[in-house]
Chain A
Amino acid sequence: GAGVSQSPSNKVTEKGKDVELRCDPISGHTALYWYRQSLGQGLEFLIYFQGNSAPDKSGLPSDRFSAERTGGSVSTLTIQRTQQEDSAVYLCASSLGRGRYQPQHFGDGTRLSIL
């Protein structure tokens, strides 16, 4: 079946612009996560959605970052007034339910470059 799909795969934009990154999770997966990965580093948690519950936004680095998940499926991560330090690969993952025993399945990410 289809895996987690992210778009665009690459995004280059100028400092100060807003960007939107999209994630289509695996069908039937109720949990959705956003991470970012800087060059040569491990993943940094950003935000978590589970069903209709309020999202866990504890990993968002600043108020320029926001995310929403419409209809319990597709999610959009928005970065306003982008800065050069926002350059990274943004990864989305989904899993069955919120159980901590459920493995997360990742998309291939959006590589964001801020000029």
Chain B
Amino acid sequence: DAKTTQPTSMDCAEGRAANLPCNHSTISGNEYVYWYRQIHSQGPQYIIHGLKNNETNEMASLIITEDRKSSTLILPHATLRDTAVYYCIVRASESNYQLIWGAGTKLIIKP
């Protein structure tokens, strides 16, 4: 199963774009990249997912490199409520639909 690597923590100023990187160099051709976030004392919240094309929804944008070995989650105008742990996850192989969770990136939005 593909593994992801993320920075342990990041800071971002309120109102600026937050760019969270993720490396997944062993990703398979048919595996999707998912992003979730977890605000303190709450369950994880789905943000976005993608395969190879860039994706955008009301919460964020996902940029996946052409070789699919890395991706970046972009929060275009970060607010204090975006402070959370952000998890980049590669969906496990066909025979294993579990999500494999790493330690994530602690994103702190500063006023």
Q: Which of A's residues lie within 8 Å of B, judged by CB?
A: 4, 33, 35, 41-45, 48, 59, 91, 93, 98, 100-101, 103-109
Residue from B32, B34, B97 whose CB has the most chain A CB atoms within 10 Å: B97
**Cα–Cα, bound, A57→B59 (Å):** 34
Q: How many pairs of residues, A versus B, come closer than 8 Å at their CB atoms?
A: 47
Contacts A100-B32, A103-B34, A104-B46 given: A42-B103 contact, CB under 8 Å? yes
Q: How far is the CA of A35 from the CA of B49 in the complex (A)?
A: 20
Residues of B within 8 A of A101 (CB): 32, 49, 91
Pair B46/A105 contact, Cβ less than 8 Å: yes
Shortest distance in angstroms between B43's beta carbon and chain A's nearest beta carbon?
Answer: 3
Q: Do B103 and A41 touch (CB < 8 A)?
A: yes
A41 → chain B, closest Cβ, in Å?
7
The one of A98, A103, A108, A109 that contacts B97, using a Cβ cutoff of 8 Å: A98
Complex: how many Å from CA A107 to CA B44? 8
- Provide the bound-state CA to CA distance between A103 and B99, in Å: 10
List 30 A–B pairs whose Cβ atoms lie within 8 Å, in order of A's numbering.
A4-B43, A33-B98, A42-B102, A42-B103, A43-B44, A43-B101, A44-B101, A45-B98, A48-B97, A48-B98, A59-B98, A91-B43, A93-B43, A93-B44, A100-B94, A100-B97, A101-B49, A101-B91, A103-B34, A103-B46, A103-B49, A104-B44, A104-B46, A104-B99, A105-B46, A106-B43, A106-B44, A108-B42, A108-B43, A109-B43
- The A interface, classified by DSSP as helix, strand, loop or mixed, is loop
Closest 10 CB pairs of A and B: A42-B101, A106-B43, A103-B46, A43-B101, A45-B98, A108-B43, A100-B91, A106-B44, A107-B43, A108-B42
Docked complex: B92-111 residues within 8 A CB-CB of A: 92, 94, 97-99, 101-104
